[in-house]
Amino acid sequence: MSPPVTADEVEEATREVVRRHDPRTVPRTELFGALYDAGLAWVHHPVGLGGLGLARGLQAVVDAVVTDAGGDQMFAVNPIGYGMGAPTVVEYGSDRELVARWLRPIATGEEIWCQLFSEPGAGSDVAGLATSAVPDGEDWVVNGQKVWTTLAHVARWGMLVARTDPDVAKHRGLTYFVIDMDQPGVEVRPLRQMTGQAEFNEVYLHDARVPDTYRLGDVGAGWRVAITTLMNERSAIGGVTGRRGSGPIGEALGLWRAHPDRQTAVLRDRLARLWTRAETHRLTLARARRTATAGQPGPEGSVSKLVGAELNQDVYEFCMDLLGPDALLYDGYDLRRGDDATGGRVHADPGSTLQQRFLRSRANTIEGGTSEVMRNILGERVLGLPGEPRSDSDRPWKEVPRG
């Protein structure tokens, strides 16, 4: 039987996998492993690496069939590994066996990944980071601190950008690695959020060793590799689609129906405007996914991330206004640590309250690139507007003043 190449053939191939591995009766890892083996984990990946070499947009066909059958989306189970790690590993990994070794557990959700980019002194300006990687034989020795690392406490692998040459400009002295999070020299500490949860972390790296075989891309080319991760991150965060009236706007509609005594003309107008924005965003995402090519995502990921983050906040603000005094009732401030990725930033914990989701939404315009960064990207790369002045772009990193 020839491999599927059209949307109908991809749909039928997915249905066959679902028939053999019913999401309602088999472990999630079994279903996702079967999808990977059939080339349906990332249809745009090469054959043998979880894909079929097809257009990226056909992944929406796979996701729809799995969801309709009662299964989870792989992105929701392992958001950073599936949405950001896998495409970076495929594009820049030089050892095909090692790439395959990493990819299948990403797809099944058996090995969670995290992203070690931001630092206390390098948040939006990631290229200014100070964590160092020094060669030592066949290894690199890493020292430094990372912060805001989502899911580091459950991650098996981390995507690490470190400085390997302080004598050149900041963007040119970086190298990209995959690091074993379970090894000695990697310490993870929780960062408690105002929700009481601690899905974010700070990570301390002290003489942690990384084999050179775990390097992605050339030495000094880490910024280029990091951009691949970041573009996929924004596309993944902003690209989660659902059915009409689902997600946060669906919660707002349900809350509206449950409280007829609190309905006013002003709130009705706000809800109508929010529903229109949500539906426009959903349809735009669905069209973008269907027409996506096999290449890396472009600036459209920044558009969807920007719009989706601000919409999410506005919807939950509406919910709090509709709840009135009840919005102040929240008993979730005790420190809680999730033991998997499913309660992370992509989908709210099913047991959480509207108040929790309102508080959590404040992070939406910060994580994955702030809204200000998204607007800069769109202004410079899409609209062609002049970039912001960057006085340190050509100076050696070690000569740039740092606070």
In this prediction, residue 390 has a pLDDT band, given cuts at 50, 70 and 90, of: confident
Looking up residue 82, the CATH number of its domain turns out to be 1.10.540
Q: What is the tens place of the pLDDT at every residue in 133-155?
A: 999 999 999 999 999 999 999 99
Give pLDDT, residue 196: 85
The domain in which residue 75 lies consists of 7-108
- Asked if 156 contacts 139 with a C-beta cutoff of 8 angstroms, the reply is no
pLDDT at 159 over 90: yes
User: Any catalytic annotation for residue 233?
Assistant: yes
Q: Which residues contact 273 (CB under 8 A, 6 or more apart)?
A: none
Residues 123 and 152 in one domain: yes
Give pLDDT, residue 382: 80
Looking up residue 197, the CATH number of its domain turns out to be 2.40.110.10
pLDDT at 5 over 70: yes
The DSSP bridge partners found for residue 132 are 143, 163
Give pLDDT, residue 368: 77
Please, how many CA atoms are within 13 Å of residue 218, restricted to the half-sphere of its CB? Answer: 5
Residues 96 and 40 in one domain: yes
Q: What is the tens place of the pLDDT at every residue in 115-135?
A: 999 999 887 789 999 999 999
Q: Which residues contact 94 (CB under 8 A, 6 or more apart)?
A: none
Question: Which of 79, 108, 137 is the last residue in one of the domains?
Answer: 108
* Average pLDDT score, the chain: 89
- Let me know if residue 299 belongs to a domain: yes
- Let me know if residue 275 belongs to a domain: yes
pLDDT at 300 over 70: no
Residues 290 and 309 in one domain: yes
- Let me know if residue 391 belongs to a domain: no
Residues 132 and 207 in one domain: yes
Q: What does the block give as tokens for 205? A: 């790296």
The DSSP bridge partners found for residue 144 are 205
In this prediction, residue 374 has a pLDDT band, given cuts at 50, 70 and 90, of: confident
| pTM (two decimals) | 0.87
Residues 104 and 199 in one domain: no
Indicate the number of domains in the chain.
Answer: 3
Map residue 387 onto helix, strand or coil.
coil
Residues 235 and 378 in one domain: yes
77 alpha carbon, distance to own chain's centre: 11
Q: How far apart are CA 92 and CA 228, in angstroms?
A: 10
Q: How far apart are CA 59 and CA 49, in angstroms?
A: 15
The DSSP bridge partners found for residue 201 are 190
- Of residues 119, 233, 380, 388, which has the active-site annotation? 233
Residues 58 and 190 in one domain: no
Query: What single DSSP character describes residue 126?
Result: G
Q: How far apart are CA 328 and CA 174, in angstroms?
A: 46
Give pLDDT, residue 350: 44
Map residue 114 onto helix, strand or coil.
strand
Question: Which of 220, 253, 277 is the last residue in one of the domains?
Answer: 220
Residues 42 and 177 in one domain: no
Query: What single DSSP character describes residue 178?
Result: E
Give pLDDT, residue 314: 97
Residues 274 and 138 in one domain: no
- Let me know if residue 2 belongs to a domain: no
Alpha-helical runs (H) found in 154-207: none
What single letter denotes the amino acid at residue 278? A
Q: What does the block give as tokens for 325? A: 């005094």
92 alpha carbon, distance to own chain's centre: 18
Residues 271 and 369 in one domain: yes
Q: What does the block give as tokens for 149? A: 């690392």
Residues 15 and 140 in one domain: no
Q: What percent of the chain has pLDDT above 90?
A: 64
Alpha-carbon Rg of the chain, whole angstroms? 22
Q: What is the tens place of the pLDDT at every residue in 334-357?
A: 767 766 555 444 344 444 689 999
Looking up residue 351, the CATH number of its domain turns out to be 1.20.140.10
Across the range 81-85, mean pLDDT stands at 95
Q: What does the block give as tokens for 194? A: 């105002």
- Let me know if residue 274 belongs to a domain: yes
Question: Which of 220, 243, 258 is the last residue in one of the domains?
Answer: 220
- Let me know if residue 169 belongs to a domain: yes
Q: What percent of the chain has pLDDT above 70?
A: 89
Across the range 79-98, mean pLDDT stands at 94
In this prediction, residue 111 has a pLDDT band, given cuts at 50, 70 and 90, of: very high
Diameter of the chain measured on Cα atoms: 71
Give pLDDT, residue 220: 97
Alpha-helical runs (H) found in 241-391: 248-258, 265-291, 300-323, 354-361, 371-377
Give pLDDT, residue 347: 40
- Let me know if residue 280 belongs to a domain: yes
Q: What is the tens place of the pLDDT at every residue in 218-277?
A: 999 999 999 999 887 766 665 566 678 888 999 999 999 999 999 999 999 999 999 999
pLDDT at 54 over 60: yes
Q: What is the tens place of the pLDDT at every residue in 319-338?
A: 999 999 999 988 777 767 76
Specify the residue for token string 């059939």.
38
What single letter denotes the amino acid at residue 288? A
pLDDT at 296 over 90: no
Q: What is the tens place of the pLDDT at every residue in 306-320?
A: 899 999 999 999 999
Least Cα distance to 247 among 322, 194, 197, 319 occurs for 319
Give pLDDT, residue 303: 81
Give pLDDT, residue 345: 42
- Let me know if residue 394 belongs to a domain: no
- Asked if 131 contacts 142 with a C-beta cutoff of 8 angstroms, the reply is yes
Q: Is the dihedral of CA 263, 269, 273, 279 positive or negative?
A: positive
Specify the residue for token string 């495929």.
90
The phi, psi pair for 182, rounded to 5°, reads -95, 0
Within the chain, how many helices (H) and strands (E) appear?
13, 8
- Asked if 77 contacts 36 with a C-beta cutoff of 8 angstroms, the reply is no
In this predicted model, which residue has the larger pLDDT, 191 or 381?
191
The phi, psi pair for 212, rounded to 5°, reads -65, -25
Residues 208 and 327 in one domain: no
Map residue 11 onto helix, strand or coil.
helix
